[in-house]
Structures are given as C-alpha cells and as structure tokens.
C-alpha cells in the first residue's frame, strides 16, 4: 500500500501558507509578501520540517496555483533558503477582487 501522506501534507501546507500569509497581504494591497521558513514552522508547532516548507514555497505547483512569481530568496550561510519573497498579482482585468480572492 502506498503512502500518500507527503502529498496531502504538501497540499495542506501550501493552502495554509496561502491563507495565513498571502491572502491577508493581497487584501491589504501589498505588492510583495515575504514568507520566512522558520516562521511557518513555528506557527505550525514544528509539525512540518523546514525542508518541506522550503520545498512547497520553492515549487512551481505552489507558485502557479496561487499566481505567485518568485522575486527573491534569502539564504542561510549554508545556502538553504530562509525566506521567499513573492510578487502579488492582482485580479485579472474585468473580474471583481472579492470573486478573485474567493476563487483562490
């Protein structure tokens, strides 16, 4: 029997990051959002490893799902990303902001 927990965890983690960090930044009208790996781990009581958080934040699946172009990644001394900065794109022309936010 295959173990699908990692996929479910990564999807849950991506949604959690979006709902906790990205959506509020968009609602405030911010142009960029910076998400710190350690901050996400602490908020989730270290239930997810920093490597998994980095993997989700750096994945094309996460960026494409939530329309988040990666602007920069700040690194630890050992080269592992410590924070990710994403550009926040607004709603498409002709759609209401509320409907767009609810769809994401």
pLDDT band at 6 (very low <50, low <70, confident <90, very high): low
pLDDT for 15 equals 95
The answer to whether the pTM exceeds 0.85 is no
pLDDT band at 94 (very low <50, low <70, confident <90, very high): very low
- Tokens for 27, please give them: 């609602």
Q: Is 41 helix (H, G, I), strand (E, B) or coil?
A: helix
Rounded alpha-carbon distances, angstroms, from residue 63 to 17, 28, 58, 86: 11, 20, 8, 9
Rounded alpha-carbon distances, angstroms, from residue 84 to 21, 74, 97, 98, 103: 12, 6, 25, 26, 23
Cβ pair 69, 85 in contact under 8 A: no
- The predicted-structure confidence for 20-73, as pLDDT tens digits, reads as follows 999 999 999 999 999 999 999 999 988 889 999 999 999 999 999 999 999 998
Give the chain's domains with CATH numbers. Answer: 5-103 (3.30.1370)
Asked whether the predicted pLDDT for residue 99 surpasses 80, the reply is no
Task: List strand residue ranges (DSSP E) for the chain, in order.
Answer: 32-36, 70-75, 81-87
């Amino acid at each position: 029997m295959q173990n699908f927990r990692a996929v479910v965890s990564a999807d849950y983690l991506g949604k959690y990051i979006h709902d906790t960090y990205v959506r509020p930044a968009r609602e405030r009208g911010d142009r960029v959002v910076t998400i710190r790996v350690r901050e996400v781990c602490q908020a989730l009581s270290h239930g997810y490893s920093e490597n998994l958080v980095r993997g989700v934040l750096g994945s094309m699946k996460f960026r494409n799902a939530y329309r988040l172009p990666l602007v920069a990644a700040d690194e630890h001394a050992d080269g592992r990303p410590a924070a990710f900065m994403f550009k926040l794109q607004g709603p498409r022309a002709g759609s209401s902001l509320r409907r767009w936010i609810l769809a994401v």
